[in-house]
């Protein structure tokens, strides 16, 4: 008997299948390999030998990590999708579509109606690994998470593009006290959305759908999410018993074409395969034990001293840092000795932890110690402050700065790497000069190592310690976790050891921080006196990598992980008034009765439909979070809005008149260039005798409506929203949709050219190519240059030829359009002046929120303007102010209309007191990679702070709020200094 | 426009940068990134003939990418990162005296952010090599006074060099996979390059027919066995399409996999740039006078291409795409107004390749390339509607996208391709 043997080596598991001569499956197995690929395969072969003897086998290898091992061992290899394809055709010929989720790959195979096979793009991230990571975040096993998800009552929107994004959506939900069941279901929903939008790309998933791979086999909740989203009944959703090892079955089928050989031969070849090559390795972190000892001795110098809480008598100050993944508390004496400190992973209920720890502190204090002041910082600041009646709240950047200042009064650079964020501050004249926070994309921070250690079945401490003396640390690149995951995969494929990967990860985190977040070119740019902090730096391997990369000896306080809490305690100490004798903190008695319940509702205060979370405390007090404006919190709305974004949006929505169109209806999608040119085209079509119908307002639902036609998932969110706008117009039954293709935008005479960005200019082409409902008749997209009347009129007449519009009418209408656009723009400028005037009168700070016209869409800016208003800041936009500034000559090629405005807006701001600029950047905007540095340079040359906010589909303002508050705090501090 | 620009008050935030003065021609070595391995052999030879000391960089590896990452905004396109990484890595190697070195980059201009490479390079060099001038090779009037001094005759010579480079590339790719003796195609390439260098020196390069036939004859003489192989077209963003550093040696990878790489001619991209200027005049009435010149240039270049196509057919080689035909291919999928980056050329090449029997296509693009959202990935569905059998794989190139990931995707495409090839036999 000759057996066919299929081996599938995936990113996390090894699957083996044996087929007998009748091609019946006689054996399958599914094992996690924990990066020990070769050993796991060999162990499996031993099992096979035991069961079926050492006779003749035909073998074939497949899988993402199988390629390397197959090549080195000289075994036949078959691409995994191809393997699956073969197995499907044999065992499930009726399938129309197959979806396979693996450890780090997602694949979709369309079998009928034009065969097509797709794998996730390099940005889409893993799925199995992503679920693992999320389970870790929830402190659940994957099975527990799955079971919980089945009890969910509500699904929350979680960004589906990549793991890091999803994580920053989940964390605030956890901190708000949303139940794990709901979050688990939301995570699965996000995986489904990612598959549908990232892979199907314009093709509908319908018919008999086959679900393959481990996660889809083991996770009932994930199955349910798929069936619900795709609208599949039991008959059409097929979950084969063999799903986890399906690829290995396919490989076994392909093995039939190979020559048979004894199993011992196959094993011998695997044994001889060697470790492989092709990975870049760096220097070891420490060359000798002595070097390590010196390093440790140097850092011990920055320790705080302790005071015994059981014997001390006197005053104390409490600091609480309610971070995203961890909670930290510290109680200090007036001379900054530590009485008590605590550091703990949140596990989802930070409020319970803090209440519990305060109880413990009260027990320890007896009547010897009085807490005179308490202060809280971090993500959970407001909630904690309300729940526990804490005296002060301070934005976390300020807390960290205060703490660093204590350790080194000369500090000029602080870097804090925490669980999921990196914060860096430059310090000038003992005030924060600039703040850099990681974008949602590069947060490959501390929790990444943790997840990874867990995947390796190790404690984080042990995992990091291994790295310290690694001989050949692997180079893993310096991008986001998803990229690092596949780099790790490759390193493992090449046979790198765990210690080398551990050291490599430490160095990646450091490089990520320096080159991605800070974007320093040389270490000198960082500063001379660097203080590092955050829990991640307690990891000596990370600390050492940082020192090696920067070539500087830095200060790492022993309380690196507690700096936020320490800073908060210092803040409490500095700000407690001499007459205050005791903190307002909940008393020991009150804590006995302390309990709360949480529920979430959708705020109906306005069209934003914020998802609001309400905590109700035992004493009847309530705390509301998740709201973007005062309404959600049940506060009255201020009478006068100082928000030009909302003003513009409302103006645009009211632009079409309600009349009947003699010639028909035209649909205008309110997105991208229409946010600027809607007045032009409304007036144009109304003059021509059409009724103008606008697409629905942007929302997440609208996005989902068009998601299946999104061709490129790394395009910016405004572009991706466009698909939903088109669908909404098609559903409204307009005669045709109009969206012009404009290589050139209006010339505002301030740049060497006046292009649109490629996405804005030609998005219509992509829409037509990827939405089957669009055709030449219902989607009119003339190419025109709005600066040139003659050719524009010609192009419009031609495009609308079936209406037989006379050229003179088109010309007249076009002129009317330009008039209306001019009037609209003047109106915006006027409103801008009014806001500025009022703000100056009231002594309010003004922020010029500079982005693109389409950032006026509240679904794109996520209500940042309302947030700014609620912080007491008036909001202007770049297009309201740029004309009042002189022209600006910059270092880069200034050739895009919208972007030229940014430079002038920056110059406008830099000439004014009490005004700052915040640049809004859409994730994926390639051109802003160029403008941001220039805008920063303009502002910094004039001594202004530069703040950038990256926005995407993520609808969570937590990070944005911290950033804006830090900016305002830094401005205040600067003003106080001068 | 200029007038208004100058009358308004202007604040100058730009920094000074060193300029390449004519005197530097004698003293400075000019570094060129490894962009077009097939064409630079000849182009560099022409430039040396013009009196420039030119050197093409071939440094590779992690150090190059790391320097790029350090010196460029990480969200900038991958080509910028590679090019700047190569410059800085080379300048740091100690092989070149920074006081006597300049760097050169080609620029095509237009609404793509790639037009900003020169300022990005200047910014990157400022930190460590502020004395190194950055030069531009472009025909759009950018960076005046900081480019090469090219006379019309030199320009014509460069154009010929590109034709010959294209021809050698195409013949080599059509011969190499089928050669009977290992290395004979490579030998033919070397001998052709040397011969063309001599022709460029002697002036006989102007005899397009004679030179082309020499190349064609040399390759036709290589003994081959024409067993059918999977043919894979490479289209996409211009840098990653041609540069081995940018596309992780895609051509070599395909050859190693036993495929015939089909790389469209560089001249098509140049013709595309020329045509865009003509289209701008036609669509928007822009620069109509200049368009007359462009039309003449186009007619001249197109005639040469036609001639080469005729000769390639004569020697039974698969000819270049006829550019007029490419334009018609474009019209069936996308509007010729899509002119940023590689724009309409990408879907046009995909369609033309399918027509000529190359159904398997790698669409290479830098991660997050803006024009490619539209004309690359975005147009695949439209191309497939016309050519349902096309087997297209878009591949993103990026400093951290691992080779294993890229190769896995290409292998998937190849698996389908092989199956189809088997089916046809």
For A38, the 3-state DSSP assignment is helix
- The arithmetic mean of pLDDT across residues A902-929, rounded, is 89
**B397 Cα to chain A: minimum distance (Å):** 9
Is pLDDT above 80 for B217?
yes
Sign of the Cα torsion A957, A960, A964, A969 reads positive
Distance CA B347, CA B351 (A): 6
Distance CA A706, CA A773 (A): 11
Q: Could you tell me if residue B348 is inside a domain?
A: yes
User: Which residues, other chains included, contact A716 with Cβ-Cβ below 8 Å and sequence gap of 6+?
Assistant: A759, A922, A923, A924, A925
Tokens, residue A410: 């000369």
Tokens, residue A301: 């110098």
pLDDT for res A375: 96
Asked if B410 and B395 count as a contact pair (C-beta separation under 8 A), the reply is yes
Asked if B228 and B257 count as a contact pair (C-beta separation under 8 A), the reply is no
**B126 and B238 together in one domain:** no
**B142 and B237 together in one domain:** no
**B140 and B273 together in one domain:** no
**A728 Cα to chain B: minimum distance (Å):** 21
Q: Could you tell me if residue B177 is inside a domain?
A: no
Q: Which residues of B touch A520 (CB under 8 A)?
A: 70
**B286 and B142 together in one domain:** no
Q: Mutation test of the interface with chain B: which of A798, A891, A939, choosing the one with the most B Cβ atoms within 10 A?
A: A891
Cβ pair B404:A763 closer than 8 A = no
**B255 and B144 together in one domain:** no
Distance CA B80, CA B239 (A): 9
**B245 and B98 together in one domain:** no
Is pLDDT above 50 for A144?
yes
**B30 and B123 together in one domain:** yes
Structural domain range at position B402 = 228-424
Q: Which residues of A touch B339 (CB under 8 A)?
A: 743
Cβ pair A68:B10 closer than 8 A = no
- The arithmetic mean of pLDDT across residues A67-81, rounded, is 85
Report the run of H or E that residue A9 belongs to, with start and end: strand A3-9
Q: Could you tell me if residue B174 is inside a domain?
A: no
Is pLDDT above 80 for B168?
yes
**B142 and B233 together in one domain:** no
**B331 and B242 together in one domain:** yes
Helix, strand, coil: what percent of chain B each, to 5? 60, 10, 30
Cβ pair A743:B403 closer than 8 A = no
Q: Could you tell me if residue B117 is inside a domain?
A: yes
Q: How many CB pairs under 8 A join A and B?
A: 245
Residue of A nearest to B412 (CA): A79
Q: For chain B, give me the number of helices (H) and strands (E)?
A: 18, 9
**B274 and B130 together in one domain:** no
Q: Which residues of A touch B370 (CB under 8 A)?
A: 757-759, 926-927
pLDDT for res B4: 45
- Confidence category of residue A891, pLDDT binned at 50, 70, 90: confident
Question: For the segment B87-112, what is each residue's pLDDT rounded down to a tens digit?
Answer: 999 999 999 999 999 999 988 777 77
How many beta carbons lie within 10 A of that of residue A110, not counting itself? 18
**CATH for B26:** 3.40.50.2300
Give the one of A521, A756, A889 whose C-beta lies nearest to B10's C-beta. Answer: A889
For A361, the 3-state DSSP assignment is helix
Tokens, residue A71: 């090549």
- B19-23 long-range contacts (CB < 8 A, ≥24 apart) are B19/B133, B19/B145, B19/B146, B20/B102, B20/B133, B20/B134, B20/B135, B20/B146, B20/B147, B22/B149
Q: Could you tell me if residue B401 is inside a domain?
A: yes
- Confidence category of residue A163, pLDDT binned at 50, 70, 90: low
Question: For the segment B12-41, what is each residue's pLDDT rounded down to a tens digit?
Answer: 888 888 888 888 988 999 999 989 999 999
pLDDT for res A833: 95
Cα dist. A699→A609, A718, B106 in Å? 9, 11, 43
Chosen domain end from B103, B122, B150: B150
What ipTM does the predicted assembly reach? 0.91
Q: Could you tell me if residue B325 is inside a domain?
A: yes
Asked if B375 and B333 count as a contact pair (C-beta separation under 8 A), the reply is no
Cβ pair B378:A766 closer than 8 A = yes
Residue of B nearest to A109 (CA): B412
How many beta carbons lie within 10 A of that of residue B255, not counting itself? 18
Q: For chain A, give me the number of helices (H) and strands (E)?
A: 35, 31
Q: Which residues of A touch B113 (CB under 8 A)?
A: 926-927, 929-930
**A263 Cα to chain B: minimum distance (Å):** 27
Distance CA A62, CA B75 (A): 34
Q: Which residues of B touch A886 (CB under 8 A)?
A: 8-11
Q: Which residues of B touch A516 (CB under 8 A)?
A: 74
Q: Could you tell me if residue B162 is inside a domain?
A: no
Residue of A nearest to B66 (CA): A477
Q: What is the DSSP string of A771-815?
A: -TT--TTTEE--B--TT-HHHHHHHHHHHTGGG---HHHHHHHHH
Cβ pair A122:B14 closer than 8 A = no
* Residues A209-237 as b or e (16 or more Cβ within 10 Å = b): bbbbbbbbbbbbbbbbbbbebbebeeebb
Distance CA A751, CA A889 (A): 9
Distance CA B344, CA B288 (A): 22
Bridge partners (DSSP) listed for residue B232:
B261, B360
A209-212 vs A237-238, strand pairing mode: parallel
Q: Does the model's pTM come out above 0.90?
A: no
pLDDT for res A486: 61
Tokens, residue A366: 């007896």
pLDDT for res B272: 95
**B281 Cα to chain A: minimum distance (Å):** 10
Is pLDDT above 60 for A687?
yes
Cβ pair B113:A522 closer than 8 A = no
Q: Which residues of B touch A941 (CB under 8 A)?
A: 13
- Confidence category of residue A124, pLDDT binned at 50, 70, 90: very low
Cβ pair B384:A114 closer than 8 A = yes
Q: Which residues of B touch A753 (CB under 8 A)?
A: 111
- Confidence category of residue A605, pLDDT binned at 50, 70, 90: low
Helix, strand, coil: what percent of chain A each, to 5? 45, 20, 35
Best CA proximity match to B382, nearest among A749, A463, A767: A767
Cβ pair B338:A886 closer than 8 A = no
Q: Could you tell me if residue B176 is inside a domain?
A: no
Give the one of B367, B368, B415 whose C-beta lies nearest to A79's C-beta. Answer: B415
Cβ pair B75:A888 closer than 8 A = no
For A748, the 3-state DSSP assignment is coil
Asked if B323 and B351 count as a contact pair (C-beta separation under 8 A), the reply is no
Cβ pair A758:B340 closer than 8 A = yes
Q: Which residues of B touch A510 (CB under 8 A)?
A: none
Residue of A nearest to B417 (CA): A82
Residue A551: Cβ-neighbour burial (10 angstroms; 0-12, 13-18, 19+): exposed
| % of chain A with per-residue pLDDT over 70 | 88
User: Which residues, other chains included, contact A577 with Cβ-Cβ below 8 Å and sequence gap of 6+?
Assistant: none
Distance CA A302, CA A555 (A): 7
Residue B100: Cβ-neighbour burial (10 angstroms; 0-12, 13-18, 19+): middle
Give the one of B12, B116, B128 whose C-beta lies nearest to A930's C-beta. Answer: B116
User: Which residues, other chains included, contact B377 with Cβ-Cβ below 8 Å and sequence gap of 6+?
Assistant: A711, A712, B363, B365, B394
Q: Which residues of A touch B423 (CB under 8 A)?
A: none
For residue A542, which phi and psi values (nearest 5 degrees)? -70, -45
Distance CA B290, CA B274 (A): 11
Question: For the segment A302-345, what is each residue's pLDDT rounded down to a tens digit?
Answer: 778 888 998 999 999 999 998 777 889 999 999 999 999 998 87
B259-262 vs A431-437, strand pairing mode: unpaired
Question: For the segment A216-240, what is each residue's pLDDT rounded down to a tens digit?
Answer: 888 999 999 999 888 888 888 999 8
pLDDT for res B111: 75
Distance CA A252, CA A83 (A): 8
Give the one of B1, B8, B118 whose C-beta lies nearest to A747's C-beta. Answer: B1
User: Which residues, other chains included, contact A263 with Cβ-Cβ below 8 Å and sequence gap of 6+?
Assistant: A45, A48, A49, A54, A55, A57
Q: Which residues of A touch B75 (CB under 8 A)?
A: 926, 928-929
Give the single-character DSSP code of A316.
E
**B402 and B260 together in one domain:** yes
Chosen domain end from B96, B119, B150: B150
- Confidence category of residue A977, pLDDT binned at 50, 70, 90: low
Give the single-character DSSP code of B377.
I
Distance CA A921, CA A213 (A): 37
A338-345 vs A326-332, strand pairing mode: antiparallel
The number of distinct structural domains making up chain B is: 2
Q: Which residues of A touch B403 (CB under 8 A)?
A: 490
Distance CA B420, CA A109 (A): 17
- The arithmetic mean of pLDDT across residues B251-257, rounded, is 93
Cβ pair A890:B111 closer than 8 A = no
Tokens, residue A908: 């406008």
How many beta carbons lie within 10 A of that of residue B198, not counting itself? 12
Cβ pair A122:B401 closer than 8 A = yes
Distance CA A543, CA A708 (A): 45
**B146 and B23 together in one domain:** yes
Is pLDDT above 60 for A126?
no
Give the one of B15, B402, B415 whose C-beta lies nearest to A487's C-beta. Answer: B402
Asked if B167 and B216 count as a contact pair (C-beta separation under 8 A), the reply is yes
- The arithmetic mean of pLDDT across residues A881-893, rounded, is 89
Distance CA A765, CA B380 (A): 12
- Confidence category of residue A81, pLDDT binned at 50, 70, 90: confident
Chosen domain end from B150, B180, B208: B150
Is pLDDT above 60 for A277?
no
Cβ pair B409:A929 closer than 8 A = no
Q: What is the DSSP string of A878-900?
A: HHHHGGGSPEEE-SS---BHHHH
Is pLDDT above 80 for A798?
yes
Q: Which residues of B touch A68 (CB under 8 A)?
A: 404
Residue of A nearest to B398 (CA): A122
pLDDT for res A243: 87
Cβ pair B373:A477 closer than 8 A = no
Tokens, residue A784: 């025109």
- Confidence category of residue A460, pLDDT binned at 50, 70, 90: confident
User: Which residues, other chains included, contact A211 with Cβ-Cβ below 8 Å and sequence gap of 6+?
Assistant: A98, A99, A100, A217, A223, A226, A237, A238, A239, A240, A243
Cβ pair B412:A757 closer than 8 A = no
Q: Which residues of A touch B70 (CB under 8 A)?
A: 515, 520-521
């Amino acid at each position: 008997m000759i057996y066919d043997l299929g081996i599938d080596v995936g990113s996390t598991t090894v699957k083996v299948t044996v087929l007998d001569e009748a091609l019946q499956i006689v054996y399958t197995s599914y094992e996690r390999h924990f990066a020990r690929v070769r050993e796991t395969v060999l162990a499996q072969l031993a099992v096979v030998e035991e069961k079926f003897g050492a006779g003749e086998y035909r073998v074939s290898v497949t899988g993402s990590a199988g390629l390397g091992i197959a090549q080195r061992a000289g075994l036949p290899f078959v691409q995994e999708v191809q393997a699956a394809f073969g197995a499907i055709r044999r065992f499930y010929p009726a399938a129309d579509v197959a979806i396979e989720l693996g450890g780090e790959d997602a694949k979709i195979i369309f079998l009928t109606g034009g065969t097509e096979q797709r794998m996730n793009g390099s940005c889409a991230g893993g799925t199995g690994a992503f679920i693992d990571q999320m389970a870790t975040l929830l402190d659940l096993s994957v099975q527990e998470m799955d079971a919980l998800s089945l009890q969910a009552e509500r699904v929350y929107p979680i960004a589906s593009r990549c793991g890091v994004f999803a994580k920053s959506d989940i964390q605030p939900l956890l901190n708000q006290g949303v139940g794990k069941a709901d979050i688990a279901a939301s995570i699965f929903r996000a995986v489904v959305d990612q598959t549908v939008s990232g892979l199907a790309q314009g093709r509908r998933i319908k018919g008999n759908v086959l679900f393959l791979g481990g996660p889809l086999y083991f996770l009932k909740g994930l199955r349910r999410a798929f069936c619900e989203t795709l609208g599949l009944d039991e008959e059409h959703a097929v979950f084969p018993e063999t799903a986890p090892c399906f690829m290995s079955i396919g490989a076994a089928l392909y093995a039939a074409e190979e020559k048979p050989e004894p199993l011992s031969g196959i094993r011998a070849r695997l044994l001889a395969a060697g470790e492989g090559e092709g990975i870049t390795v760096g220097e070891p972190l420490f060359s000798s034990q002595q070097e390590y000892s010196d390093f440790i001795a140097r850092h011990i110098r920055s320790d705080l001293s302790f005071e015994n809480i059981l014997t001390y008598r006197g005053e104390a100050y409490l600091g609480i840092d309610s971070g995203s993944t961890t909670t930290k508390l510290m109680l200090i004496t007036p001379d900054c000795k530590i009485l008590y400190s605590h550091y703990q992973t949140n596990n989802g209920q930070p409020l319970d932890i803090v209440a519990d720890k305060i109880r413990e502190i009260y027990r320890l204090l007896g009547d010897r110690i009085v807490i005179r002041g308490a202060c809280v910082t971090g993500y959970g600041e407001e909630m904690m402050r309300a729940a526990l009646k804490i005296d002060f709240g301070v934005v976390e950047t300020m807390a960290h700065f205060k703490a660093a200042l204590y350790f080194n009064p000369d500090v000029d650079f602080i870097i804090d790497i925490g669980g999921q964020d990196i914060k860096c501050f430059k310090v000038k004249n003992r005030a924060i000069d600039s703040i850099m926070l990681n974008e949602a994309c590069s947060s490959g921070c501390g929790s990444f190592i943790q997840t990874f250690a867990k995947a390796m079945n190790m404690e984080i401490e042990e995992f990091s310690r291994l790295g310290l003396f690694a001989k050949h640390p692997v180079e893993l690149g310096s991008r986001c976790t998803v990229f690092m995951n596949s780099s790790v995969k490759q390193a493992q494929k090449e046979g790198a050891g765990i210690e080398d990967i551990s050291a490599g990860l430490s160095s990646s985190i450091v490089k990520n921080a320096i080159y991605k977040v800070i974007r320093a070119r040389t270490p000198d740019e960082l500063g001379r006196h660097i203080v590092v902090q955050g829990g991640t730096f307690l990891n000596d391997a990370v600390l050492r990598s940082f020192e090696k990369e920067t070539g500087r000896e830095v200060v790492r306080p022993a309380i690196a992980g507690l700096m936020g809490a320490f800073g908060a305690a210092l803040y409490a100490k500095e700000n407690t008034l001499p007459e205050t004798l005791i903190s307002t903190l909940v008393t020991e008695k009150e804590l006995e009765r302390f309990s709360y319940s949480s529920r979430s509702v959708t705020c109906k205060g306005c069209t934003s439909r914020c998802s609001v979370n309400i905590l109700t405390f035992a004493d009847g007090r309530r705390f509301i979070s998740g709201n973007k404006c005062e309404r959600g919190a049940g506060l009255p709305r201020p009478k006068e809005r100082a928000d030009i974004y909302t003003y513009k949006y409302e103006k645009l929505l009211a632009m079409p008149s309600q009349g009947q169109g003699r010639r028909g209806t035209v649909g205008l999608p309110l997105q991208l260039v229409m946010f600027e040119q809607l007045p032009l085209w409304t007036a144009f079509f109304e003059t021509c005798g059409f009724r103008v119908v606008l697409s629905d307002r942007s929302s997440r639902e609208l996005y989902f409506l068009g998601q299946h036609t999104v061709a490129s998932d790394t395009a910016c969110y405004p572009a991706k929203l466009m698909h939903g706008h088109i669908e909404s117009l098609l559903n409204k039954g307009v005669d045709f949709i109009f969206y012009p293709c404009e290589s050139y935008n209006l010339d505002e005479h301030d740049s060497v050219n006046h292009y649109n960005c490629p996405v804005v200019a030609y998005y219509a082409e992509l829409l037509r190519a990827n939405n089957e409902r669009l055709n030449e008749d219902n989607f009119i997209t003339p190419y025109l240059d709005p600066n040139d009347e003659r050719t524009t009129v010609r192009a419009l007449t031609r495009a609308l030829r079936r209406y037989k519009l006379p050229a003179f009418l088109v010309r007249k209408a076009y002129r009317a359009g330009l008039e209306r656009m001019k009037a609209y723009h003047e109106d915006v400028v006027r409103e801008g002046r009014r806001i500025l005037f009022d703000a100056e009168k009231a002594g309010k700070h003004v922020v010029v929120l500079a982005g693109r016209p389409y950032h006026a869409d509240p679904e794109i800016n996520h209500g940042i303007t309302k947030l700014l208003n609620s912080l007491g800041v008036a909001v202007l936009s770049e297009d309201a102010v740029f004309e009042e500034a002189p022209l600006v000559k910059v270092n880069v090629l200034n050739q895009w209309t919208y972007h030229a405005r940014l430079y002038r807006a920056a110059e406008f701001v830099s000439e004014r007191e009490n005004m700052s600029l915040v640049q809004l950047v859409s994730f994926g905007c390639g051109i802003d990679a160029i403008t941001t540095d220039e805008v920063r340079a303009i502002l910094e040359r004039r001594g202004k702070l530069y703040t950038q906010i990256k926005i995407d589909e993520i609808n969570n303002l937590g990070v944005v709020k911290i950033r804006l508050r830090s900016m305002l705090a830094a401005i205040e501090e600067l003003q106080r200094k001068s | 426009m200029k007038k208004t620009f100058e009358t308004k008050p202007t604040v100058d935030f730009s920094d000074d940068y060193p300029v390449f003065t004519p005197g530097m021609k004698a003293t400075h070595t000019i570094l060129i990134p490894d962009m077009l391995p097939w064409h630079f052999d000849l182009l560099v030879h022409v430039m040396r003939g013009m009196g420039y000391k030119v050197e093409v960089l071939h440094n590779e590896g992690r150090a190059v990418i790391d320097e790029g990452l350090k010196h460029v905004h990480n969200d900038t396109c991958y080509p910028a990162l590679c090019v700047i990484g190569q410059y800085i890595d080379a300048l740091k190697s100690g092989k070149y005296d920074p006081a006597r070195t300049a760097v050169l980059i080609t620029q095509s201009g237009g609404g793509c952010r790639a037009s900003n490479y020169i300022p990005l390079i200047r910014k990157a060099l400022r930190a460590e090599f502020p004395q190194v001038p950055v030069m531009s090779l472009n025909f759009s009037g950018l960076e005046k006074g900081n480019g090469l001094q090219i006379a019309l005759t030199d320009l014509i010579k460069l154009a010929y060099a590109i034709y010959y480079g294209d021809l050698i590339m195409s013949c080599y790719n059509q011969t190499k996979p089928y050669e009977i003796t290992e290395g004979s195609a490579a030998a033919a390439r070397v001998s052709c390059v040397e011969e063309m260098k001599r022709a460029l020196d002697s002036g006989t390069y102007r005899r397009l027919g004679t030179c082309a036939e020499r190349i064609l004859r040399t390759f036709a003489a290589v003994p081959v066995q024409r067993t059918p192989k999977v043919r894979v077209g490479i289209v996409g963003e211009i840098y990653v399409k041609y540069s081995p550093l940018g596309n992780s040696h895609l051509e070599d990878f395909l050859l190693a996999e036993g495929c015939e790489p089909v790389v469209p001619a560089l001249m098509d991209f140049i013709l595309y740039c020329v045509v865009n200027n003509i289209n701008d005049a036609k669509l928007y009435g822009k620069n109509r006078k200049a368009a007359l010149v462009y039309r003449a240039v186009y007619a001249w270049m197109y005639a040469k291409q036609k001639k080469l196509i005729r000769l390639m057919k004569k020697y039974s080689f698969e000819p270049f795409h006829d550019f007029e035909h490419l334009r018609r291919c474009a019209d069936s999928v996308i509007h010729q107004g899509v002119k940023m980056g590689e724009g309409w050329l990408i879907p046009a090449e995909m369609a033309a390749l399918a027509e000529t029997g190359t159904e398997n296509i790698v669409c290479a693009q830098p991660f997050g390339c803006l024009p490619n959202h539209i004309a690359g990935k975005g147009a695949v569905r439209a191309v497939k509607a016309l050519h349902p059998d096309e087997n297209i794989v878009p591949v993103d190139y990026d400093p951290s996208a691992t080779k294993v990931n890229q190769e896995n995707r290409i292998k998937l495409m190849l698996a389908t391709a092989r199956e189809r090839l088997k089916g046809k036999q």
